Amino acid sequence: MPRLLSGLLACALLALSALAANAERVLRLDEVAVGELDPAKASDYADSILMFNVYDTLVLPRQGGPGHTPHLAESWVGSGTEYTFTLRSDVSFQSGNPMTAEDVKFSFDRMVSIGQGLSFLFGNVESVDALDTYTVRFNLSEPYAPFVSALVRLPIVDKQLVMNNLGDGEGEMGDWGSEYLSQNGAGTGAYIVKSHNPQDETVMVKFDGYFLGVNERAPDTVRLRYGLEAATVRTLIAQGEHDISSQWLPPEVKKALAADGNQLLTEGGTGSFYFKMNTMKEPLDDVNCRLAISSAFDYESVLKLIAITDEISEGTAATGAITAGMFGAKPTSQALSRDVEAAKAHLAQCRHDPSTFSVEISWIAEVPLEERLALLLQANLAEVGISSTIRKVPWAAFAGMVENPDNTPNISQIFVTAVTGDPDTLLYGMYHSSKAGTWQSPEHLSDAQVDMLLDAGRAGETDGERESAYSALNDRLLTIAPSIYGFDSQAVFVARPGISVPALSDPNMAFGLDTMGFAFRLMEIE
């Protein structure tokens, strides 16, 4: 009898082991709505998570170091105004269609024709030629130093699938498949879109035909939820019903969850936090008023507000307009600091009388930390004689209202990152006059010298030329103060035990590009 019981117990354990091995691995995480699925329109964090998992690009940032490595491309040659890429011949789209040079050309033509998202990165690409099945050439109108890095933002779409799903619109291409791609994927990526609601949740499942293969312990299903309240996320993680938080949880919530045994994952080095001042509307159309506000801000106290533990913080001291480590950045020894006397002196020279105005400070409703930062700035301004009001604005509403300077708050709060890892994509979309009026550029800045230096940074043929251009740009931006440069940001996420994300926990595996750490194929779930 004991032998029989022992045998039954062994069989039961083997059965449980098999069930565990075959159990579906589900990853649950959250982000701010709206989740834009069309890769030609992707620009913010949630969009990018979708893009980098459903689609692939010709190159990827090198893990653990600078530069880029081939991805859909096998290799490339070129510089100046011509780049030629040899594509892999073993890549298939999720539809089963083979990926070819025609798909690369189509993806470029589609992105620039739609003209949204990060299409401005390719403004100096005159044309793309499919030379043969697996060779594609990009023809530039002028040298563009960050061109290869920009290609991490050109996701390759399935031409045949999109052509089969064109919607109504002007011209032969109609809507370029925009309606279809707003709900469906058409990529080569490691994850297939199963369902998508941009305000609620996107569900993705593993693509078994992925050309690089997918880690066996990677999530089988991913549920990316949008717009969860901080209290809800905290409760779900504590109950084991949520796996990775967004970076927008308040610092004390992250600290409490870490104290309960959860992990803190980090991603940083490519962006900063800005208080953006509307330069086209009184009273901040006056440079002295802007300088008064930037001088009055308490840069030291903001770092205390964003600390999570003694070792981990959501940022480091800003030294200027450009994040530390990039071309043109000032040394960390030159951290910005508060100067109340300078603030009062600048205010005395402002042509607007502070007794006659009140500035509006907005904060994004889905980012609770920003309310505290708004309150800090409000207190700082009161000390130098500037009154202010604070306004809570949902992200979707903010993105629309800033298109018109008359509707844009006097001061907005935004995290901005270099979407390719190059300073061009940190700064051009914020400060070039041709890009005014997006969520990145509520300053509505129009400054000829800034435009010239931004263009010089793009065209510089050597690192020295680019360093010189961006250094001068940094000085100019500090002089005209379109923004308060709050701090260099580091994203911090809470993850439950049992989730392994090497790209967010091991510097030797980090990509150096925001959201790339959320490549689900590289994660593991116990």
Q: What is the pLDDT of residues 379-412, one digit of tens each?
A: 999 999 999 999 999 998 998 999 999 999 999 9
Q: Cβ neighbours of residue 473 under 8 Å, at least 6 residues apart?
A: 321, 322, 328, 427, 450, 453, 454, 457
CA-CA distance, 271 to 169, in Å (whole number)? 37
Q: What is the pLDDT of residue 341?
A: 97
Q: How far apart are CA 330 and CA 320, in angstroms?
A: 7
Q: Is the peptide bond before 34 cis (omega within 30 degrees of 0)?
A: yes
* Residue 133: Cβ within 10 Å count: 12
- 437, amino acid identity: G
H-helix or E-strand spanning residue 296: helix 287-296
Q: State the Cα–Cα distance between residues 395 and 90, nearest whole angstrom.
A: 41
pLDDT in tens, 269-278: 789 999 999 9
Residue 33 above 90 pLDDT?
A: no
* Mean pLDDT of all residues in 259-263: 95
Position 11 scores a pLDDT of 47
Question: Per-residue pLDDT for 350 more than 80?
Answer: yes
Rounded to an integer, what distance in angstroms lies between the CA atom of residue 149 and that of residue 423?
Answer: 11
Please check the confidence at residue 7 and state whether its pLDDT lies above 70: no
The mean per-residue pLDDT over the stretch 453-457 comes to 95
Please state, in angstroms and rounded to a whole number, the distance separating the CA atoms of residues 110 and 108. Answer: 5
Task: Please give the mean pLDDT across all residues of the chain.
Answer: 93
What is the structure's pLDDT at 18?
A: 41
Instruction: Please give the pLDDT value at position 67.
Output: 84
Tokens of 63: 């893990």
Predicted structure pTM score: 0.81
Per residue in 91-125, pLDDT (tens digit) is: 999 999 999 999 999 999 999 999 998 898 898 89
- State the pLDDT at residue 299: 97
Position 17 scores a pLDDT of 42
Write out the E strands in 341-446: 358-364, 387-393, 411-417
Return the domain boundaries, the chain: 27-226+496-525, 267-490
Going by their DSSP bridges, the two strands 125-132 and 135-140 should be labelled as antiparallel
Q: Exposure of 476 by Cβ count < 10 A (0-12 exposed, 13-18 middle, 19+ buried)?
A: middle
Q: Over range 56-80, report the average pLDDT.
A: 92
pLDDT exceeds cutoff 70 at 22: no
- pLDDT of 372 > 90? The answer is yes
User: Of 7-21, 58-72, 268-282, which gets the smallest average pLDDT?
Assistant: 7-21
- Indicate the Cα dihedral angle 30, 35, 38, 41, nearest 10°: -120
| CB contact set of 288 (below 8 Å; sequence gap of 6+) | 346, 347, 349, 350, 351
**pLDDT score recorded for residue 80:** 86
155 has pLDDT over 50: yes
CA distance linking residue 112 with residue 124, whole number of Å: 11
- Class in CATH terms, 27-226+496-525: alpha beta
Is pLDDT at 189 greater than 80 in this prediction? yes
**Residue among 521, 523, 525, 517 at smallest CA distance from 45:** 517
Helix (H) or strand (E) holding 453: helix 448-459
Task: Give residue 521's pLDDT.
Answer: 97
What CATH code would you report for 267-490?
3.10.105.10
Say whether 413 sits in a helix, a strand or coil: strand
